[in-house]
Every structure is written in C-alpha cells, then in structure tokens.
C-alpha cells in the first residue's frame, strides 16, 4: 500500500504537470513554446567545442572505458564528465599517527617508512604484507591485488604517504589495500589537499575506473581547458550580490578544491545555478503562455454571481476563498487562457469557489463543465449545487455513465444549443466528448484520477480552449510545487471555514480493538455514523478483495444485524450497486461504511463522526490525511482512529504520530516528504523540473526561494533576455536546450 499510495501521489504530480502542459499546448493559439524554442536556437550555442568532444577522445579513456562511462554514468562527452561531481572529499591535509588509531577511526592519512615487504601464497591466495612505521608505532599493510605494481613502485626503507581505513586483527591495527604515494619533497610537511571522490559503479571499478581514477580523468580534462571553456551564464550583478564564485572557479573548485571553504562555495554556486535555471525556464514558459495564449474573455461579474453572493450563499467566504476567486477573476478577465491549479486541504471549501467561478462564466454567456473522478462524487456535486442554485435562473445537469439514453440525449441537446449553463459529470463527459456551444470553463475536481489523454479531450482541436481550473486536495509541499508546477498559475487555500472542530486522531494497536469497537458503538448510540477503511495491500484486485471481505465479516461480528446495518463499497462493485450502498449510508439507513480507499475523495456525509483506518501503517501520510477528511464535516466532534498491529516499527510510529499531532495537510505533506526523503522525490525525476545534479529541494530550500525570487525579477525586467547582461544566460539556455522539460511533451 505504501508503495502504491506513493505511486499515486507521484502519478498525481506528474499528471498535473504533463496534463497542464498538454492542455496549454494543444490549444489552437498555442504557438509560443515553439516560437520560444526558435528564438533560443537562433543564437548559436556558445558551448565550448572542446567540451562537446566524445568522451573516448580523452586521454586515458579509450573505446572500452568510454562504453562503460556511457552505460554506467551517462557520460558521453567531455562536458558531461565535468558535470560528474565528487560526492565527498578526503581531507588529506592532516597526517595522523599510528598510535591514534582506534576501532572508531574512519579513513586516516599516515606518513612513515615502509619495511618488511613480503609476498606469500600462490595464485589466487597470493598476498603481500608490509609494515608501516611512524614515530608513534607500526601498522601492518596487506594487499591481495595489484601486487606486481607494488613490487615495482614501492621501495622498502622509503617514506610514503599511506591512506585508508584501518581495521583490527587480533587486537592489532592493520590496513588492507591502502593507497600509497611518495611523500612530497618538503618531507613531513602537511599538504593542502582535499581529494575528490567520485561516484562509480562495480562494473567501472572492475575496469579500473574507481572513483579515484575518474578524478584523474577529470584532472586530465582540466589541464586541457581554460576559463573561456566554462563561460559565465549568470549575470555579474547577481553573482556579486549573492557572493558566489564565477562558473569557471566553481567548476575548478568543486573538482579540485584547495581548502574546504572553496568547495562549499563552489557547491553552493552550482546548486544555485541549477535551481535558478530551472526556475527561469518555468517562469519563461508561464510568461510566454500569459503573453500569447488566447482564452475566453470573462469581462464582467454580472447578476448571476451578484445575486448568488447576495442572496443564496449560505455562509460568508473565508479570506482564502475570496482571494482565490479574485485570482480566477483576474485570469479569466485577461483574455488569456487560464491554467490554474487550486490546492486546498480537504474541507477548505473548494466546491463553492468552483460554483462561483461557473457563475462568472454564465454571466459572460459561457457554459461550464465540472468533472469528478467518481459517480458518487459527481452526484454529490450535482445535488449540492442544484440545491444552492434552486432559486436561480441557472440550469445544471448531471451526465454520468449510468445516465439513461433519453435523458442523455436531452442533456446533450441542451449543451449543444447553449441552453445549459453547467454540466456536472464523470469521465462520461469526455468519453464521447460533449459538444458545447461555447464552453468557457472546465473544472476538474480531485484531478489525479484523470489521465493525460482524458484531459486533452476536454475540448476539440481547433476550439478556443476553455479556462481550466484543476482542484486537488492532495497538499503538495511548497518547494515541490514551486519546482514541479512552477510554470502554472497556482492558488492555495490555506484557511479553513470557521467553527470547525479539529478532528481528534489517535493511534491504537490491535490489543485495543475491543475498546475501539465499543467506542464506535457509543457514537452510533448518539446517532452518528462510522467509516472503517481497509487498505489496498497488493496491487492485485483479488487479494484486496479478499482482505476487504475478511474485514467485512469481522465488522459484522462486532456489529450484528438487525441492531446495526453496514454498507460496503469497493472497486469491484458495479456503479449502481456502489451507488445504492453509498446512498444508504448517506440516508443514515446504515451506520457503518466498510470500504477500501474508493471512499477517499470528496465524499460528504456530515453525520459521520468516526473514521477507523485498518493497517494504517500501510498508507502514505497524505492519503491518511485525505481519508481522515471524510469526518469532521458536521457540527459534532469527530475522531480518527489509526489501527495497527501490536508490532510496529519506530518509523511507522513516528509517521502516525505526525498525523495525531496535526490536522494541517500542508504540514503533513512536508513531513511526508521529509520522512520519505529525497529518494522518493527522485521518483518524480521524469518531470524534468526536478532533475538536479546537486540541488535538493528539501535541504536547499533557501537557495530555491532565492532562485525563484531572482528569476521572477529578471523576467519582469527582461522577459526575452535581450539585455546584454543576460547574453550568457540566453546562450546557456540555447545550448542546453535538449534538457528542456517541454521538449519531450510537445
């Protein structure tokens, strides 16, 4: 489940990205991206010719190693070797003493005389030992490989520098396969030297390309190039104000620092450059879209919106809702196509924002549609919105897979003749695309259930694309949003409607099950309802199904008929059957809803006050938060109980602890990301926008914020990069064009 929920989250991020790109680009007016690329490629690349040399031409590489470098590390050219950065450095500036070695000692550099060199054993069992003696003691050195080389190059009685990780054998320190090199002419003086260690792989090591050898190749390369080969791409003023070294100096120092501070500055510069260039690209995409893509013009706010606002809106809007409505109003009134992602935690009130946006569309003579991922949700939206609009001259219809033929024909007719204002539906809206007279706004709720192709079918080729508002309740950490969706307009509803009672969340283990069940009974006795959710454990339908059925039997044993009635909903049911079970729960004919995560999105039963999640450790944090959002929708205090086995890992406990501690979806998402670590972020690499070599959006947050701020400032001042001071930047974008995130998408 963990895997699959992560997968869902990532898929969601990815699809939002890709889909919005596609929706931007399939619109008829959408030429600018191509334009933009042309503008860029007109400038001849300034990439130094030497850096585009194939890697096999580098001294010490040759065809065999070149092949491996390509396959194993993706290094095809001299330039790519330069971009293969060390992952750590060995501080060889300090020479230790043999007597200091203890079982905790990591790598250590020693200086001393090598004596007593001996070989023993035959063939595979052959080995060489020697003694290293310094002022403080002696250490045994052992080699199993490379013995011939040692015999030729190491001379007993001579002083050497010896480097390696010591171990203990029978209580005495020794070192296997140490690196040995002659002492510098100065004698015992410490050298100022940080040795870079490069990532390598087993296959490369077998061919003699250890991390250290790769360093030698890089050294060779550096002796062939000069400052002009690594031209500056950031504006001089920016570097100065940030106190960062030049590009050339940064590359030199990251590979061959002379002191620890040098490589820190170099790393920072390169990270900043990565983040800045990525933000700039995203910013350019967005500003290009803003400047060139035409969209329906919602010039005014008319009587429909105003009447609704004045007479029928059942509560006052939160500050966040007002702000988002303003943003949408501004977008749709600009004459350009809106492509906005609206993120709002579960229960933050996105639906009303959607409705009021659709009223603005209607005020301007445009139709709207709203798609939900499930039939249940579409129906709920339809019922809810119809009720809100019942006194208003606005027509709303529902179209789903189970809409009867005659009804369907009538609805399609009203969409086509323009008499229909708002159409709510499921995939059915796009499976056989509905023809509208003038679709002005398409809203996609909880969009991550929609696929790429589906989105592209929202409107027909050649039509003016409608404004698109994508609403999602999966909070995405700000840093991730900034990198993954930096090219979109992006709204956040970070405020809950007033008067919500916070949901109380607890973690209970299996041995407390009886108390948990008793608690549910108490709540039911008070007239309330409960959800019991089972995870999708396998990605196999069958196992999940069995798992759920077992769970259902257990629940039934605790809550026997006719005192209690239970609904069950799962993915294998026919829509009608699902619907029936759901409706019974909505009507409070059943007190308990047993379900898999199909219930996850959007479902609204305000009377439900308990959410029990079985095997909670198997869910991702964000998903648990989503599930929890099904309760706490009414005026009663609500509870979420996370059930796990009696044995649960410390990690698992900590994760669930986060949920017990806060109701804030954004904080949970941040924490989720933190706990899962950058490994998972790398899963989103395909998105291109996160493809950084050194930068890490988790740990380099401050740099990322800076990069965003400064790239926006720069684009405000010089959107087409025509100023002389941005020439280097423009050349850089042109020469690294292949890496553009959109190259793959359009």
Contact pick of 167, 303, 451, 497 for ligand ADP (by CB under 6 A): 497
Count H helices, E strands: the chain? Answer: 27, 22
Q: Are strands 166-169 and 172-176 parallel, antiparallel or unpaired?
A: antiparallel
Q: Residue 667 Cβ, how far from ligand ADP at the closest point, in Å?
A: 17
Find the residue with minimal CB distance to Mg ion. 602
Q: Residue 343 Cβ, how far from Mg ion at the closest point, in Å?
A: 12
- Contact status: 425 vs Mg ion (CB under 5 A): no
Assign 173 to helix, strand or coil. strand
- Contact status: 346 vs ligand ADP (CB under 6 A): yes
Query: Toward Mg ion, which CB reaches closer, 194 or 603?
Result: 603
> Residue 288 touches which of ligand ADP, Mg ion, none (CB < 5 to 8 A by kind)?
none
ω into residue 562 within 30 of 0, thus cis? yes
Q: Are strands 367-371 and 137-143 parallel, antiparallel or unpaired?
A: unpaired
Query: Toward Mg ion, which CB reaches closer, 493 or 624?
Result: 493
Mask: binding to ligand ADP, 569-608, rule CB under 6 A, as x and -? Answer: -----------------------------------x----
Instruction: Give the end-to-end CA distance of the chain in Å, rounded to a whole number.
Output: 33
Q: Residue 351 Cβ, how far from ligand ADP at the closest point, in Å?
A: 3
> Residue 315 touches which of ligand ADP, Mg ion, none (CB < 5 to 8 A by kind)?
ligand ADP
Q: 563: Cβ–Cβ under 8 A, 6 or more apart, which residues?
A: none
Contact pick of 10, 218, 279, 351 for ligand ADP (by CB under 6 A): 351
Using alpha carbons, select from 420, 425, 441 the residue that is nearest to residue 329: 441
DSSP codes, 351-420: HHHHHHHHHHHHHTT-EEEEE-SSHHHHHHHHHHHHHHTTTSS--EEEE-TT--HHHHHHHHHHHHTT--
Q: Residue 296 Cβ, how far from ligand ADP at the closest point, in Å?
A: 24
Query: Toward Mg ion, which CB reaches closer, 86 or 602?
Result: 602
Q: Residue 640 Cβ, how far from ligand ADP at the closest point, in Å?
A: 16
Pick the piece of the chain touching Mg ion (CB under 5 A) from 97-105, 250-258, 515-523, 596-604.
Answer: 596-604
Q: 486: Cβ–Cβ under 8 A, 6 or more apart, which residues?
A: 278, 279, 282, 283, 286, 689, 708
Helix-helix angle 727-735:32-42, to 10 degrees: 110
Q: Residue 314 Cβ, how far from Mg ion at the closest point, in Å?
A: 16
Q: How far apart are CA 33 and CA 27, in angstroms?
A: 12
Q: Residue 204 Cβ, how far from Mg ion at the closest point, in Å?
A: 51
392 neighbors 619 (Cβ within 8 angstroms): no
Pick the piece of the chain touching ligand ADP (CB under 6 A) from 65-73, 221-229, 312-320, 731-739.
Answer: 312-320
Q: Residue 384 Cβ, how far from ligand ADP at the closest point, in Å?
A: 8
Q: How many CB atoms lie within 10 A of CB 384?
A: 15
Pick the piece of the chain touching ligand ADP (CB under 6 A) from 142-150, 196-204, 227-235, 311-319.
Answer: 311-319
Q: How many CB atoms lie within 10 A of CB 390?
A: 10
Query: Toward Mg ion, which CB reaches closer, 465 or 602?
Result: 602
- Contact status: 174 vs ligand ADP (CB under 6 A): no
- Contact status: 317 vs ligand ADP (CB under 6 A): yes
Within 368-427, the residues that bind ligand ADP by CB under 6 A are none
Q: How many residues bind Mg ion (CB under 5 A)?
A: 1
Pick the piece of the chain touching Mg ion (CB under 5 A) from 195-203, 456-464, 501-509, 594-602.
Answer: 594-602
HSE (side-chain half, CA atoms, 13 Å) at 637: 3
Pick the piece of the chain touching ligand ADP (CB under 6 A) from 299-307, 340-348, 636-644, 688-696.
Answer: 340-348
> Residue 169 touches which of ligand ADP, Mg ion, none (CB < 5 to 8 A by kind)?
none
Pick the piece of the chain touching ligand ADP (CB under 6 A) from 18-26, 346-354, 435-443, 474-482.
Answer: 346-354
Q: Residue 389 Cβ, how far from ligand ADP at the closest point, in Å?
A: 14
Q: Residue 582 Cβ, how far from Mg ion at the closest point, in Å?
A: 16
Q: How many residues bind ligand ADP (CB under 6 A)?
A: 16
DSSP codes, 104-160: T--SEEEEEEEEEEEEES-GGG-EEEEEEEETTEEEEEEESS-HHHHHHH--TT-EE
- Dihedral of the alpha carbons of 721, 279, 50, 694, in degrees to the nearest 10: 160
Assign 271 to helix, strand or coil. helix
Contact pick of 347, 632, 688, 728 for ligand ADP (by CB under 6 A): 347
What value, to the nearest 5°, has the Cα angle with vertex 723 and ends 721 and 726? 60
Within 432-491, the residues that bind ligand ADP by CB under 6 A are 473
Q: How far apart are CA 247 and CA 271, in angstroms?
A: 11
Q: Residue 663 Cβ, how far from Mg ion at the closest point, in Å?
A: 17
Contact pick of 349, 425, 551, 683 for ligand ADP (by CB under 6 A): 349
Q: 52: Cβ–Cβ under 8 A, 6 or more apart, which residues?
A: 77, 78, 79
Within 622-661, the residues that bind ligand ADP by CB under 6 A are 633
From residue 431, how far is each of 382, 425, 434, 435, 461 by CA, in Å?
Answer: 19, 11, 8, 12, 15
E strand or H helix at 666, and its extent?
helix 665-676
Q: Residue 534 Cβ, how far from ligand ADP at the closest point, in Å?
A: 23
Query: Toward Mg ion, which CB reaches closer, 211 or 602?
Result: 602
CA 161, chain centre distance (Å): 46
Query: Toward Mg ion, which CB reaches closer, 602 or 620?
Result: 602
Q: How many CB atoms lie within 10 A of CB 72?
A: 16
> Residue 528 touches which of ligand ADP, Mg ion, none (CB < 5 to 8 A by kind)?
none
Contact pick of 174, 293, 318, 472 for ligand ADP (by CB under 6 A): 318
Mask: binding to Mg ion, 599-618, rule CB under 5 A, as x and -? Answer: ---x----------------
Q: Residue 498 Cβ, how far from Mg ion at the closest point, in Å?
A: 18
Q: Residue 314 Cβ, how far from ligand ADP at the closest point, in Å?
A: 7
The runs of H, that is alpha helices, within 293-374 are 303-307, 319-332, 350-363
| CB environment 271-290: b (16+ within 10 A), e (fewer) | bbbbbbbbbbbbbbbbbbbb
Residues that bind Mg ion (CB under 5 A): 602
Query: Where does this chain bind ligand ADP (CB under 6 A)?
Result: 315, 317-318, 321, 344, 346-352, 473, 497, 604, 633
């Amino acid at each position: 489940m963990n895997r699959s929920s992560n997968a869902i989250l990532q898929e969601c991020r990815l699809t939002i990205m890709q889909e919005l790109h596609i929706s931007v680009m399939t619109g008829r007016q959408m030429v600018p991206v191509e334009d933009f690329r042309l503008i860029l490629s007109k400038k001849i690349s300034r990439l130094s010719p030497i850096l585009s040399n194939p890697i096999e031409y580098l001294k010490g590489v040759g065809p065999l190693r070149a092949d491996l470098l390509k396959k194993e590390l993706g290094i095809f050219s001299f330039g790519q070797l330069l971009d293969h950065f060390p992952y750590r450095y060995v501080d060889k500036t300090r020479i230790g003493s043999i007597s200091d070695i203890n079982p905790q000692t990591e790598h250590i550099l020693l200086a001393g005389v090598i004596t007593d060199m001996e070989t023993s054993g035959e063939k595979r069992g052959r080995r060489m030992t020697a003694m290293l003696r310094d002022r403080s003691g002696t250490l045994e050195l052992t080699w199993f490989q490379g013995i011939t080389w040692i015999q030729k190059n190491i001379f007993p009685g001579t002083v050497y520098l010896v480097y390696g990780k010591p171990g203990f054998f029978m209580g005495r320190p020794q070192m296997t396969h140490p690196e040995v090199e002659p002492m510098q002419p100065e004698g015992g003086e410490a050298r100022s030297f940080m040795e870079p260690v490069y990532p390598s792989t087993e296959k490369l090591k077998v061919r003699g390309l250890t991390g250290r050898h790769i360093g030698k190749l890089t050294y060779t390369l550096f002796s062939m190039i000069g400052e002009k080969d690594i031209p500056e791409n950031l504006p001089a003023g920016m570097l100065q104000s940030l106190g960062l070294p030049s590009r050339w100096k940064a590359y030199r120092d990251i590979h061959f620092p002379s002191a620890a501070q040098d490589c820190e500055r170099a790393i920072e510069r390169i990270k900043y450059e990565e983040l800045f260039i990525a933000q700039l690209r995203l910013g350019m995409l967005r500003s290009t879209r803003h400047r060139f893509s035409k969209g329906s013009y919602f010039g005014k706010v008319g009587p429909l919106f105003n009447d609704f606002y004045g007479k029928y809106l059942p509560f006052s809007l939160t500050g966040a809702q007002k702000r988002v409505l303003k943003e949408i109003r501004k977008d749709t009134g600009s004459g350009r196509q809106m492509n906005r992602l609206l993120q709002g935690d579960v229960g933050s009130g996105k639906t009303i924002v959607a409705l009021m946006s659709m009223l603005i569309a209607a005020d301007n003579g445009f139709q709207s549609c709203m798609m939900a991922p499930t039939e249940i949700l579409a129906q709920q939206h339809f019922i809810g919105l119809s009720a809100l609009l019942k006194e208003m001259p606005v027509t709303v219809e529902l179209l789903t897979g189970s809409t009867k033929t005659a009804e369907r024909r009538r609805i399609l007719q009203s969409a086509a003749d323009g008499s229909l204002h708002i159409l709510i539906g499921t995939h059915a809206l796009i499976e056989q695309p509905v023809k509208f007279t003038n679709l002005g706004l398409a809203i996609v709720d909880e969009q991550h259930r929609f696929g790429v192709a589906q989105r592209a079918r929202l409107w027909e080729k050649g039509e003016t694309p409608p404004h698109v508002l994508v609403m999602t309740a999966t909070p995405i950490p700000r840093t991730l949003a900034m990198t993954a969706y930096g090219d979109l307009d992006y709204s956040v509803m970070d405020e809950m409607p007033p008067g919500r009672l916070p949901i109380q969340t607890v973690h209970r283990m299996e041995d407390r099950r009886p108390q948990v069940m008793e608690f549910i009974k108490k709540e039911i006795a008070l007239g309330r309802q409960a959800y019991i959710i089972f995870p999708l454990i396998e990605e196999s339908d069958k196992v999940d199904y069995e798992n759920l059925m077992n769970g259902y039997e257990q629940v039934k044993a605790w809550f026997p008929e006719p005192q209690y009635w239970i609904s069950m909903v799962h993915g294998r049911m026919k829509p009608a059957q699902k619907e029936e079970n759901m409706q019974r729960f909505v009507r409070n004919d059943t007190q308990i809803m047993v379900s898999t995560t199909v219930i996850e999105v959007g479902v609204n039963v305000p009377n439900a006050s308990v959410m029990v999640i079985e095997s909670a450790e198997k869910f991702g944090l964000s998903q648990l938060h989503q599930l929890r959002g099904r309760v706490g929708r009414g005026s009663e205090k609500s509870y979420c109980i996370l059930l796990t086995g009696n044995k649960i890992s410390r990690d698992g406990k900590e994760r669930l602890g986060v949920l017990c501690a806060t109701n804030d979806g954004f904080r949970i998402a941040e924490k989720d990301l933190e706990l899962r670590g950058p490994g998972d972020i790398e899963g989103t690499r395909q998105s291109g926008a996160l493809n950084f070599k050194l930068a890490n959006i988790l740990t380099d947050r401050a740099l990322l914020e800076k990069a965003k701020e400064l790239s926006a400032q720069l684009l405000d001042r010089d959107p087409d990069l025509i100023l002389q001071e941005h020439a280097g930047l423009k050349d850089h974008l042109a020469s690294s064009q292949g890496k553009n995130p959109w190259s793959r998408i359009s």
